[in-house]
Amino acid sequence: MARHLRARVLVLPPLLARAAGDHLERHGRDPGPGEVLPPVLVLLTCCLLCWAYVEAGGFGPMLSLPSRLPPGQFWPVFLPSLNANISFWATVALNIPDFTRYARSQRDQILGQLGLPVFMGLFTFVGLAVSSSTEVIFGQIISDPIRLLGRIGGGAGAPAALLAIFGVGLATVTTNLAANVVAPANALASLSPSAFGGFRRGALATALLGAALQPWRLLASSESFVYTWLLGCSALVGPAGGIVLADYYLVKGMELDVGALYSEAPRGRYYYRKGFNAAAMAALLVGVLPVVPGFLHKLGVLSDVKEVFVLLYNNAWFVSFFVAGTVYWLITTLERIVWKRESS
């Protein structure tokens, strides 16, 4: 769990910085902390890896931790973890236009995202290597970055502790706040401009709602965070992503009428039925249904379900993504066929 958190903390800044830099440059202002500070995070991460390398005695001891899974247990653990990790990032994937819209051109936004796989791989390696090295250094595995930084600070004195606090605070301010606040704040402000009055109130409402959800309880264990929260969340973000991609690539052929996207005319191209895309809503429902029994079983509502439902839930993102996308494509295809027949 902590490895995923650490990866997210450190991978997003390059993309956010690029988008923010384009926006600020276009408006004639100097780049702010969102663009200047991400390299500092990269530097601090390199320092953490170097510390682990020196203290553990090289990459050999750092990467010598053997697998603790019994034979035959790899896939039952790997597949839910993979889906949970995809769900973790799928939320950002759905709202990435909140950042890429500030890019000056299509080329710029593509270049801004090319670094994501590279940084994701590098920082995942750092998380794995450093977590593994803690058994050699401290005699126990410490995967929680806060606990690890506390142990490092305890052994190296106040300067190391202050540096650790600075790094965590920097990551929170420059990355986590942006990644978790921008999308819902924009959504709330767009949903009801009169109630929220713009982005600032939407961001405040998001912060209050986030605190009300008590995330510290979700993070209390991997069971609640990975197997309940993230897998359950993947059953919603999966079909949303499948519908969006099916609509753009298969239904609309990668062509959008930008003006019509902002039109409220009842006969507008994207007005659908009284402003609602019934096909998308139906596909979303169908995409979620297969994983509901497994989710209720995980919550303890259903005491016994067939193994197939457990398997579907453990692969919730893949199942809901492909089911919803396929159903949406089929519905829209049938609608076009019916419309052509009626028109002729």
Shared domain check, 223 and 207: no
Shared domain check, 163 and 52: yes
* Inter-CA distances, 252 with 100, 243, 310, 336, Å: 21, 12, 35, 12
Shared domain check, 256 and 130: no
Query: Cα separation of 20 and 177, whole Å?
Result: 14
Pick from 167, 15, 173, 181: nearest CA to 102: 15
Shared domain check, 136 and 111: yes
What pLDDT does 160 receive? Answer: 64
Shared domain check, 203 and 301: no
Identify the domain boundary among 181, 213, 245: 213
Shared domain check, 267 and 165: no
Shared domain check, 327 and 299: yes
Rounded to 5 degrees, φ, ψ at 273 are -105, 100
Shared domain check, 202 and 54: yes
What pLDDT does 145 receive? Answer: 76
Shared domain check, 155 and 19: yes
Shared domain check, 218 and 206: no
Beta strands (DSSP E) in 169-248 are: none
pTM for this predicted structure: 0.79
Number of domains within the chain: 2
What is 3-47 written as a DSSP string? HHHHHHHHHSHHHHHHHHHHHHHHTT----HHHHSHHHHHHHHHH
What pLDDT does 293 receive? Answer: 94
Identify the domain boundary among 191, 213, 235: 213
Shared domain check, 316 and 172: no
Q: Which residues form the domain of 231?
A: 214-344
Identify the domain boundary among 213, 245, 261: 213
Residue 273: beta bridge partners? Answer: 276
Query: Cα separation of 87 and 162, whole Å?
Result: 33
CA 144 to chain centre: 19
What pLDDT does 295 receive? Answer: 93
pLDDT along the chain (344 residues), means of 10: 37 41 44 61 83 90 83 85 88 84 83 79 88 90 79 64 72 72 86 81 87 85 85 92 95 90 85 90 96 92 90 94 97 91 78
Pick from 272, 280, 271, 308: nearest CA to 293: 308
Shared domain check, 16 and 159: yes
